[in-house]
Structure 1
């Protein structure tokens, strides 16, 4: 087993979101299940980054789980959490995300506690943090 905590997201345009997340942020498609009942919608997708994973699907109002979710645009872009992704080369990741059109909300910065990082939003407003700080690594102090 790799990742035991897996963020789950919903996108109004899930196919475009998958393309963006792979191009701008470096995720890889593990599996994408298109809806047979609703052409153009994604029932379930799994994207990986290293040992991590996110799952996502299209925004729908016809499932019991739908009533528990809102989109960032529905709450003024604010979020109660964001995914934190550890990347090997933050500067290169930042440059690639910026070139692909990611909205950079906190520029690349070297952190006092170690590592470097930046924050960005995807086209549907989800907030992401990418950094080199590895919370699993043994403390150096």
Structure 2
């Protein structure tokens, strides 16, 4: 699954997600500061696609309204890196009753990102 989001300042969001969070910059198609399409891969699988905000777009995620949960085996390391970078962290790292270790963070556009070790229940 590839979530898609839009950003008022897509180049800055790409820089944040790649440089601060740790996504991989796989493809960026831009004309100046307007990004038509970007693919950022998560090193542990999956990724996101994003572009510059367009009011007439069929994308339902207006800037700042996106939220995602990202699985990582390195949740503590990522938490410390983001905290050290001064990223807003609405929910600090914690262990849950259902076996997850997770935290949440906000990106510069106001989108919510949760990171944790819980990869979902195995299929029957």
* Rounded Cα–Cα distance in structure 1 between residues aligned with 2:116 and 2:92: 11
Q: 2:95 aligned to 110, 113, 116, which one?
A: 110
* Rounded Cα–Cα distance in structure 1 between residues aligned with 2:108 and 2:57: 26
* Rounded Cα–Cα distance in structure 1 between residues aligned with 2:46 and 2:3: 10
2:4 is matched with which residue? Answer: 8
Find out whether 1:120 has 2:105 as its counterpart.
yes
Greater relative contact order (Cα < 8 A, sep 6+): 2
Deviation at 1:48, TM superposition (A): 0.5
- Unaligned 5+ segments in structure 1 are 73-78
Q: Please tell me whether the aligned partners of residues 24 and 98 of structure 1 are also in contact (alpha carbons under 8 angstroms).
A: no
Find out whether 1:20 has 2:13 as its counterpart.
no
Equivalenced residues, count: 123
Question: TM-score, length-normalised on structure 1?
Answer: 0.78
* Rounded Cα–Cα distance in structure 2 between residues aligned with 1:13 and 1:26: 18
> What SS class does the counterpart of residue 89 from structure 2 fall into?
strand
Deviation at 1:89, TM superposition (A): 1.4
Name which one, 1 or 2, has greater alpha-carbon Rg.
1
> What SS class does the counterpart of residue 36 from structure 2 fall into?
strand
Deviation at 1:26, TM superposition (A): 1.0
CA distance 1:64–1:95, change in 2 (3 Å):
closer
Question: TM-score, length-normalised on structure 2?
Answer: 0.88
Where in structure 1 do 4 or more consecutive aligned residues deviate above 3 Å? 136-139
Q: 1:56 aligned to 34, 50, 54, which one?
A: 50
Judging by fraction of residues, say which structure has more helix.
1
2:38 is matched with which residue? Answer: 45
- Unaligned 5+ segments in structure 2 are none
* Rounded Cα–Cα distance in structure 1 between residues aligned with 2:97 and 2:84: 27
Q: 2:83 aligned to 98, 118, 141, which one?
A: 98
